[in-house]
Amino acid sequence: MQQLATELEIDFQSEKYKDAYSRINAIVIEGEQEAYENYITLGEMLPELKDQLIRLSKMESRHKKGFEACGRNLAVTPDMEFAKEFFAKLHQNFQTAAAEGKIVTCLLIQSLIIECFAIAAYNIYIPVADDFARKITEGVVKDEYSHLNFGEVWLKENFPESKAELEAANRQNLPIVWQMLNLVEKDAHSLAMEKEALVEDFMIQYGEALSNIGFTTRDIMRMSAYGLTAA
Amino acid sequence: MICNQLSIKFISRPPIQRFRQSTRLIYQYMFGLIGHLTSLEHAQEVAKELGYPEYADQGLDFWCSAPPQIVDEISVTSVTGQTIEGRYVESCFLPEMLATRRIKAATRKILNAMAHAQKYGINITALGGFSSIIFENFKLEQFSQVRNIKLEFERFTTGNTHTAYVICQQVEKASKQIGIDLSKATVAICGATGDIGSAVTRWLNIRTDVKELLLIARNQERLTELQNELGRGKIMALDEALSQADIVVWVASMPKGVEIDFKVLKRPCLLIDGGYPKNLATKIRYPGVYVLNGGIVEHSLDIDWKIMKIVNMEVPARQLFACFAESMLLEFEKLYTNFSWGRNQITVDKMEQIGQASIKHGFRPLLVQS
């Protein structure tokens, strides 16, 4: 059941909360930074859409600043080293795909997986966030829906020729997401965010995106749960 | 809380524009059904049968994270000739979630399934099985915002008015079939203070000449309130009631069925089991004891769907849960309203109203097979 921060009586100033927040906040900041860089890379790969992608990248940069402010508001220093390590595999896979000119894989990683994960995490976080962070996150999540939509639209228009690569990229990258989630399960719990709720919201968002692109329910059930229990 | 007794809202909505197979634009009105399977074992079997290995081998933890899915497309034709379309939304809720107190998961399943139905543009959706019980017991009306969806509760119905009506019809008609005279009969209602149970007692009290009502439930305060409302009825423990009843109506919400001692029952005895999963655990037959699946209707025409086979209905193309049929009836009648909503709001008049629609469109209560 959803519960609000006030009902749960979360102590945002406790050492336990702030310690967990130092990693979660860092992940969010790093995630927005990577998104900023990834959209610039995508702009180079899709020159006809460069202006649009630059606009998206600037939004991500603003989000990053917003989340940095959330950390400062709680007097928390984000553990950026942890966050870089956290994103390392996904980051590497994006870089490799970009170097090979694999636009579909890059879009799946950034516009579907990362955006869906961000939307799921932000939606789960909003009811249990401190007042300052809640306002920032509510603004951010609205933008993230538009970023997800960018990937959906492009992949839908290019669905027949992208399908096989999407499935391969899903097999390669989704298990990494589940591993990433396991890494922060305890910290997320300290922020009153439950892993099973995060997984469910991610699968809902990711499933909707796959459906909008053109996958069938059967494909979606197979793809969105891929590697979950093995992680 | 929305009170349905006061008025029925007629909501006029434009037809839904929908792209199907990405190219063909169609306009349609639709009903929805939110359902779930009866146990983890059942869920695993179904997933295996339908060819979803990612779901088939998983334990309860996985199902606690599984998202809702539209898994069946349904077409229903009324005896009037009208055809409507619907969708079945599998919520991935399992009764074990309640039995193991995974309340957050259980409530998430229901809210997410409702958001899924609404996002799909379904006009009226029935909350089947435990869905409506979870909604009511955990007061989910306070959580109307699900991500970027603001739930519009008038798009949902518990379907309990039709279920209660059908169970009452089963009491009246099946009793005749097996030679029980209601004017001399004692009827026990197990789960009497629930939404369906209380409606059944109201109907039997006013619309039949049943001799005696035995009221069985856990909450004594609610039992006394019901007794005061009816102006009759004996409050009784289950064990005591079983030996006195000619008819037992089972409408308690229990994650698993109970074992009862059939030897203590009167002969003949009619047991109408309206639970999902079933309130009665045993499938053993005893002479003179008639067990009837409660709250089940038979349609006059075949329905094109898979889901009733999945829930092991005996005649899957014709038989269905009355609560599901309620959303079909509301769609046939274009009554876009949460016809059944809240707890203990069901009146005899509303049962009569949905009953007339039920007959008009060709549904009839499941009776004892001869």
pLDDT for res B183: 98
pLDDT for res A6: 52
pLDDT at residue A29 greater than cutoff 60: yes
Report CB contact under 8 Å: A221, B108: no
pLDDT for res A57: 96
Ranges of residues in chain B whose predicted pLDDT is under 70: 1-29
Give the 3-state secondary structure of chain B: CCCCCCCCCCCCCCCEEEEECCCEEEEECEEEEEECCCCHHHHHHHHHHHCCHHHHCCCHHHHHHCCCEEEEEEEEECCCCCEEEEEEEECCCCCHHHHCCCHHHHHHHHHHHHHHHHHCCCCEEEECCHHHHHHHHCCHHHCCEECCEECCHHHEECCHHHHHHHHHHHHHHHHHHCCCCHHHCEEEEECCCCHHHHHHHHHHHHHCCCCEEEEECCCHHHHHHHHHHHCCCEECCHHHHHCCCCEEEECCCCCCCECCCHHHCCCCEEEEECCCCCCECCCCCCCCEEEEECCEEEECCCCECCHHHHCCCCCCCCEEEHHHHHHHHHHHCCCCCCCCCCCCCCCHHHHHHHHHHHHHCCEEECCCCC
Report CB contact under 8 Å: A197, B108: yes
Residue of A nearest to B61 (CA): A196
Question: What is the reported pTM?
Answer: 0.89
Tell me whether A226 touches chain B (CB under 8 Å): yes
DSSP-derived letter for residue A48 is: G
pLDDT tens per residue across span A171-187 = 999 999 999 999 999 99
A1 vs B58, B104, B116: nearest CB = B104
Average pLDDT over every residue of A138-163: 94
Average pLDDT for chain A:
94
pLDDT for res A3: 52
pLDDT for res B50: 83
CB B94 within 8 A of CB B63: yes
Report CB contact under 8 Å: B71, A194: no
Average pLDDT for chain B:
90
Which residues in chain A have Cβ-Cβ distances shorter than 8 Å to B306?
none
